[in-house]
Structure 1
């Protein structure tokens, strides 16, 4: 890793960005140079934790006043588009939380702006930077012909207890389709390529402002392999997530993000021990490599647009 230390500005100091800011604070290639949040209290506290750096309540003042190499964006999705265009107009390298935007049109405009700016653009999809991803890739060849992929996302409560942020419960930009399914959509793209929604049914409560309570969808890979989505919230069941790949010779199941189970023909699946790695440090390593002009393993805005296309199709029966 280069000894260069890049100055990064943070826009959004709420719950979604806390883990990333902690990772940036301890990473040898980056230094938080300034922070902006609409809440002065949050901005000031995050700035204190980052070494008493300058803080702002208007991100435009941050962009105008600070010498930055890159910007990390962690605000609710409906604000990504406008802020991103301003960041990219300043030609700053850009790390964005998912989903990329709040609509496909916004995502596509962000991608074009990033290309025009000629900067590094990347997104935070944690599973891609865990040791579990290369293990999944390696074991695919053991499955024979892939018959189907099932994605199950069940939540006792939404938003989850540790995610009590009002926008996550709203229909405009919240819900588990926008918050959780991008992870599994990206995982599918990364493992298998393009993905198309064939049909989708979304359940909503009576409150017209509230987000979805369920989704049942059927998708296909480019080679015709079926993919199903079964999502529910507000059920008498503990939170449970399962990304399961069925093959003619074996099955793989990724459960609750970090637990991998595999099994052969007519076998019960058993857990595979996977070493824990610092996924955020890995992402920042790759981001720094790209900023140095080196080849890097990043989820770029191109893939973010593909994920956005799936999200929009899943929600199209609104």
Structure 2
């Protein structure tokens, strides 16, 4: 059995607990959070679990094969670095760190340690996003003319994200929380991207995150990429990633739905190929067992962080 420890039991950390539990070769043996109420509630879901409020003590007192770090972004660098110093394999929440410099430090440390290092970018295991990538690679839209990422949030943070950091300029905002997923996907499918210019709007509160962004980027071959984000608006949440090409248009909507069409035809729904779906936990297990696996490592996390910080700053 692969022994897993979890550091950080907030809304994001809770999401993977069920996935860890559902894998027959994984056993969560220890959990850690500074808030004891979270520990108590999480422990109810698990059997024979060790609990800690100090992650350094957990690393000292528990035999582990993998540590999942799901603390707020500004703590990623210290916690992940401490995990790697123990020679432990690590899964880190996105973004990799809270600055380009911190992300580069973790990437280089992981490279030097030679351990398994992975990021939680779930789009890489979604049948919807993988079908999008497959259609692009198969030439569904022809030569790519333009990429667009549209993000609309009536409320930010959303109702399930009410904590002390998701709304902060320091380590929150939807460009960081949502945009980085698509930055990573764009780099994976279309190659490196570069920020040309951006307009970002903040509220009067100097500690509050952005409310609007308009950014112009491009791929290495000069294909334009537009990022258009707004929060605190009327209507429903909408996230749309669209590729326009010489032969058609293709969109990934609200994380999983697909629609597209050829030039001269209507835009219609497209069914995702279920065989292209996968699980992060399953791929991590393969990697730890020494098998070929599809994991997004810290080098890719660092590449996404470079673009992310150019947008945020």
Contact 2:95 2:305 in 1 (8 A): yes
Moved over 6 A (4+): none
2:285 is equivalent to residue 288 of structure 1: yes
Where does residue 184 of structure 2 map in the other structure?
Answer: 186
Q: Name which of 297, 302, 307 aligns with 1:300.
A: 297
1:257 is paired with a residue of what secondary structure? coil
- 1:195-247: per-residue Cα shift (whole Å, max 9, x none)? 11111111000000111101100000011101000000001121011000000
2:292 is paired with a residue of what secondary structure? coil
Contact 2:241 2:253 in 1 (8 A): yes
2:20 is equivalent to residue 19 of structure 1: no
2:75 is equivalent to residue 79 of structure 1: yes
2:67 is equivalent to residue 39 of structure 1: no
Task: Determine the C-alpha separation between the residues in 2 that align with 1:175 and 1:277.
Answer: 34
Matches within 5 A, 1:1-318: 5-140=1-136, 141-274=139-272, 282-316=279-313
2:28 is paired with a residue of what secondary structure? strand
**TM-score when scaled to structure 2?**
0.97
Contact 1:200 1:315 in 2 (8 A): no
Contact 1:198 1:218 in 2 (8 A): yes
Contact 2:153 2:237 in 1 (8 A): yes
Task: Determine the C-alpha separation between the residues in 2 that align with 1:290 and 1:195.
Answer: 28
Task: Determine the C-alpha separation between the residues in 1 that align with 2:146 and 2:87.
Answer: 42
Query: How much has 1:138 moved relative to structure 2?
Result: 2.3
**TM-score when scaled to structure 1?**
0.95
Task: Determine the C-alpha separation between the residues in 1 that align with 2:228 and 2:145.
Answer: 17
Task: Determine the C-alpha separation between the residues in 2 that align with 1:32 and 1:113.
Answer: 25
> Unaligned regions of 5+ residues in structure 1, if any?
none
Task: Determine the C-alpha separation between the residues in 1 that align with 2:90 and 2:275.
Answer: 24
Equivalent pairs counted in the alignment come to 311
Query: How much has 1:278 moved relative to structure 2?
Result: 11
Contact 1:130 1:277 in 2 (8 A): no
Task: Determine the C-alpha separation between the residues in 2 that align with 1:199 and 1:105.
Answer: 21
Contact 2:251 2:258 in 1 (8 A): yes
Query: How much has 1:276 moved relative to structure 2?
Result: 5.8
Task: Determine the C-alpha separation between the residues in 1 that align with 2:237 and 2:77.
Answer: 31
Task: Determine the C-alpha separation between the residues in 2 that align with 1:275 and 1:46.
Answer: 34
Task: Determine the C-alpha separation between the residues in 1 that align with 2:121 and 2:274.
Answer: 16
Contact 1:121 1:301 in 2 (8 A): yes
Task: Determine the C-alpha separation between the residues in 2 that align with 1:277 and 1:12.
Answer: 32
Contact 2:241 2:252 in 1 (8 A): yes
State the superposition RMSD in angstroms.
Answer: 1.4
2:170 is paired with a residue of what secondary structure? coil
Task: Determine the C-alpha separation between the residues in 2 that align with 1:277 and 1:305.
Answer: 29
Query: How much has 1:274 moved relative to structure 2?
Result: 2.1
